[in-house]
Amino acid sequence: MTVRLGRGEERRAKACPVCGAPGRVVRAETLRALLKPEPGERVTESRYRFCGAQACDVVYFSEDGPQRFNREDLTVRVGVKETKGPRPICYCFGHTAEEMIEQIKGTGRTSVPDDIRSRLETEGCHCERTNPQGSCCLGVVLAFAEEAARRFGHGGCS
């Protein structure tokens, strides 16, 4: 007999137990690669999700139980949860949010997305094991570039 979760329960399983934000599925491989040794040993075959809420300390939580991992359990800074620099935004090639803002303030544009694109082709990426979100950073980088251009750009430049 399989136990089916009701709608409310299903939604709860996918939401961060602390802040209630919906979590994105991440693979256990990502957790094992980025957690410090001791918390890393607690990773099981559960399904894990990533909490992207900036103010929330929880980075990963399991869908099927009370297991959670906080910022201090990781070996890297989680860019989306930091308010002070350097905020890593591309983990494979070491780009930060501050670097992008700096470029946009200076020239109105940022070379980071192009750098990532070209290096993806030549070097490939390891986002699954380097980015706490466990997925390619390019989408986040492009969205950030647009936002930064609006906030810090010179306006009118293309």
Provide, rounded to whole angstroms, the least separation between the CB of residue 12 and Zn ion: 13
- Give the nearer residue to Zn ion in terms of CB position, either 20 or 106: 20
Among 26, 58, 100, 104, binds Zn ion (CB under 5 A): 58
80 near Zn ion (CB under 5 A): no
Taking CB under 5 A as the binding criterion, the range among 34-42, 54-62, 114-122, 126-134 that sits at the site for Zn ion is 54-62
Closest distance between Zn ion and the C-beta of residue 123, in Å? 33
CB closer to Zn ion out of 50 and 91: 50
C-alpha closest to that of 115 among 95, 129, 133? 95
**Could you give the strand order of the β-sheet that contains 24-26, starting from the edge strand earlier in sequence?**
24-26, 48-50, 58-62, 68-70
Question: Which residue(s) pair with 24 in the sheet?
Answer: 50
13 binds Zn ion, rule: CB under 5 A: no
Phi, psi of 90 (to 5 degrees): -125, 110
d(CA 103, CA 3): 53
* 33, 35, 43, 51: residue in contact with Zn ion (rule CB under 5 A): 51
Min. distance of Cβ 156 from Zn ion in angstroms? 39
Token pair 């750098």: residue: 115
Closest distance of CB 136 from Zn ion, Å: 22
Whose tokens are 């980071």? That residue is: 112
Tell me if 56 contacts Zn ion by CB under 5 A: yes
Per the CB < 8 A criterion, the answer to whether 81 and 71 are in contact is yes
Q: Note the helical H segments in the chain.
A: 7-14, 28-34, 37-40, 97-107, 112-123, 127-130, 138-152
60 vs 101, which CB is nearer to Zn ion?
Answer: 60
Indicate which single residue of 13, 14, 15, 19 sits in contact with Zn ion (rule: CB under 5 A): 19
Binding site for Zn ion (CB under 5 A): 16, 18-19, 51, 53, 56, 58
